[in-house]
Structure 1
Amino acid sequence: MSKIIGIIAGSLRKESFSKKIGKALLAMAPEGFEFKTIRLDDLPIYNQDFDDNNEVPEAYTTFRNEVKKLDGFIFITPEYNRSVPAVLKNALDVGSRPYGKSVWDGKPGAIFSNSPGAVGGFGANHHLRQSLVFLNIPVMQQPEVYLAKINELFDESGTIKEGETKDFIKKAVDAYVIWFNQNQK
């Protein structure tokens, strides 16, 4: 039975670089693994009143059930103002509640951050790492994945260009699979 890894892109934009990276990762899943895109588009902003008053939006229930079935995660995040986009933080919050029923707990993760700038989303990567530590997601340490000048990585059809960056991403995926196998529940 294949291990299912959720590919979670922290961007809603139609032509999102994070979504394009996620699409490329789908084809990099090794034998014994299935990579599956997890959409964040329909999640209302987390409000604990929904859980406290038994008025949980259907989108929360669908998301929580989908994530519960996953064995691990690769988070792909752009950097917004030296941190993660609100949509990604919201997904973490929705999945972490109600308290004591987190769908994230103990499942191995990795972070691939990106930016059109030269730093490659360093701030977002480390802010996300702080949240994942609290959520008890063991996070791959090496290689650190900061994808700089992401706007230059794709051809006109949205496919990753051949070269060093694509090779690095594949090596990072391979490292994640090793990390996953060492840290799965």
Structure 2
Amino acid sequence: MKVGIMGGTFDPIHIGHMIAAQCAYEYEGLDEVWFMPTNVPPHKQHAPKATSQQRWDMVCRAVEGQAHFRPFDMELKKGGVSYTYDTVSLLRREYPGIHFYYIIGADMVQYLPKWFKIDELVKLISFIGLGRPGYRLEMESLPALLRPAVQLAEMPQIELSSTAIRQRKAEGKSIKYLVPDRVYEYIEGNGFYGP
């Protein structure tokens, strides 16, 4: 079985995340993609605006009804800082029959050499790097050890981020069509990210 891991703060989850997951699913012929909200991301400067429960609720709403997508709360349950190496080690122990692929944006591919215990991590998991606007994937710049572990997939170029969505909400602008419908209803119904 082949499973893609779509990790992120998901504050909020948006259509860019969904498109990336679908492109990785099709490109690699994955059986499923698990959406795993991080608890405390090591590379972010600020804490998420939404609580862990609210981010989890949004992920569940986003993937509902999608046969090959599912929410996965391992990092939220584990607590603390979410290092990919620790999470993947745990995944491999709990699901020994699954080959995991970590789905990341092109910008993160360039940072892989700086990831915690990356030399060990590449022995445990493969990476699917997806093109993003403004980033050029340069595989030659990666250390030779990492290149075989990274596959590059294309996705429609969409300039969208959770930060931009929160900013739009704070300015009183609509975020309809930028997030899945059920996520939109949840955000509007609860007054998240508003002015």
TM-score, shorter chain, exceeding 0.5: no
- Normalising by structure 2, report the TM-score: 0.39
TM-score by length of 1: 0.41
Q: Which has the higher contact order (CA 8 A, sep 6+)?
A: 2
